[in-house]
Amino acid sequence: MRVKLYGLLDCNNFFVSCERLFRPDLVNQPVIVLGSNDGVVVSRSEEAKKLGVPMGAPFFKVRDIVKENNIALFSSNFELYRDVSDRVMSVLNDELGEVYQYSIDEAFFQFSEKDQISAVSELLRLKQVIEKKVGVPVSLGAGKTMTIAKYASENEKRKSGAAVFYGQSWQELTAEISLNEIWGIGGKTATSMREHGLNTVADLLAAPENFIVREFGVHGSRLCAELSENAAHQPTERKGLQKSIMHTRSFSKTTESLSALEAAVTYHIERASEELRSIGGKAGSLGVQLQTNRYSDWLLQSGRQEIILPTPVSDTRTLLCYALALTKVLYRRGIPYKKAGVVLGRIIPADAVPVCLWEEEESMNDDTQLMSVIDDLNTRWGNDAITFGRVKRGGQLDHDQHRSPCYTTRWNEIRKIKN
């Protein structure tokens, strides 16, 4: 009788590990990677963690630690990370036949083994193959549900790199695992659970079911199922297109000007619709968001409004027309805005758009050919080659002065061994 298990592969400190692939001098040295605009810390090496750099910390708060300890610093280089990620996934796919990528650095899979020992050795084998063929360190975990697999991989990161928990070995652990270590329990839920006297996984499993449903909804009851080894989540291949595309960015300084917000929204629509076309989709809904600084004490934290489009489109001009109208509706004079963004939702494949029955709806622009010419030009000459913006956008240029070369995806940035 073989045991069916869910496995999870997780790349350790992924962005840092990608940087180290081409900078072996940084192995065993403290390294951090910053998020877009060099705003916050998004990845830390073990050494940087030990020096006290918290995850998600705004850079200005850790600048001193970075300087004093000579921590190596990188801006995010997603082109590189995506390429390394593709290599990891492809090797894993070759080994297992079917994997479900969950994020840029994680993938779930299913397998079965005769016992715990052979399951652990299978995970260790996969670890070895990935590390040899791609070169980034990984951890693996497995259990009877995805939530337990996730816990197993996280927990083992700093130990042997692979762990399997099910049956007795899992049940024995539940009294020691605090709920905030569990996937799906964030800050708010953990606090609320604590207030109800629930601190460990064992506490949660001992609570009456109707209480869980009343206090924590379907989310809570699924968690309970998962933690008692009854699978409530299935790893699913995302069928078809993603559901939404968003494009947002903070301003370096707050702005009260409508035209600045319009310029930003124009830019976001251009980029989001470009991506929409690149995946072959059309959007059935459109949302605009304007936000004040969430760290200031302004009452108005955010305004967001969404509309359903008369018919799904991917033409920048049409989307822009609606987006600017929404921006005007949301805009309030005298409010210091910090962030603007757009969301394209209800995405369907372009060839699945129903044919228009009424002539007048054709007045909506949806010219695929024109858009594809513009996309080509922008790819070739940069995003500002053809724009629909009436105002030059300002204050949004990316800071990424610490970006490493795209070693694996751009010929002119390839690693030189000899001049």
Partner DNA sequence: TCTGGGGTCCTAGGACCC
Site string for DNA, 26-55 (x = CB under 7 A): ---------xxx-xx-x-------------
Residue from 32, 44, 53, 105 touching DNA (CB under 7 A): that is 105
Residue from 245, 263, 286, 371 touching DNA (CB under 7 A): that is 245
Report if residue 77 touches DNA, rule: CB under 7 A: no
Length of the chain counted residue by residue:
419
Selection from 238, 241, 240 nearest residue 344 by Cα: 241
| Residue 415: CB minimum distance to DNA, A | 26
How is residue 388 annotated by DSSP? -
Residue from 244, 311, 365, 378 touching DNA (CB under 7 A): that is 244
Window 149-208: residues binding DNA (CB under 7 A): 150, 182-190
List strands edge to edge, sheet with 41-44.
Answer: 41-44, 31-34, 72-75
Cβ proximity to DNA, 338 vs 393, nearer residue: 338
Distance CA 13, CA 26 (A): 13
| Residue 189: CB minimum distance to DNA, A | 3
Exposed / middle / buried, residue 314 (Cβ in 10 Å: 0-12, 13-18, 19+): buried
Cβ proximity to DNA, 52 vs 186, nearer residue: 186
Residue from 134, 287, 312, 318 touching DNA (CB under 7 A): that is 287
Report if residue 348 touches DNA, rule: CB under 7 A: no
Compute CA 369 distance to the chain's CA centroid, rounded to the nearest angstrom: 32
Query: In the chain, what is the straight-line distance between the N-terminal and C-terminal CA atoms, in Å?
Result: 60
Cα–Cα separations (whole angstroms), residue 312 to 76, 319, 355, 365 = 34, 10, 10, 11
Q: Which helix (H) or strand (E) holds 342?
A: strand 337-345
Beta bridge partners of 248: 341
Report if residue 308 touches DNA, rule: CB under 7 A: yes
Among the residue ranges 65-73, 122-130, 212-220, 310-318, the one whose residues contact DNA (CB under 7 A): 212-220
Cβ proximity to DNA, 103 vs 409, nearer residue: 103
Cβ proximity to DNA, 69 vs 305, nearer residue: 305
Report if residue 252 touches DNA, rule: CB under 7 A: yes
Burial 238-263 (b: 16+ CB within 10 A, else e): eeebeeebebebbbeebbeeeebbbb
Distance CA 197, CA 304 (A): 36
| Residue 165: CB minimum distance to DNA, A | 17
Tokens of 112: 């079965």
| Residue 184: CB minimum distance to DNA, A | 5
How is residue 181 annotated by DSSP? G
State the residues that interact with DNA by CB under 7 A.
Answer: 35-37, 39-40, 42, 56, 58, 60, 102-106, 150, 182-190, 217-219, 242-250, 252-253, 275, 285, 287, 295, 301-308, 338-339, 341
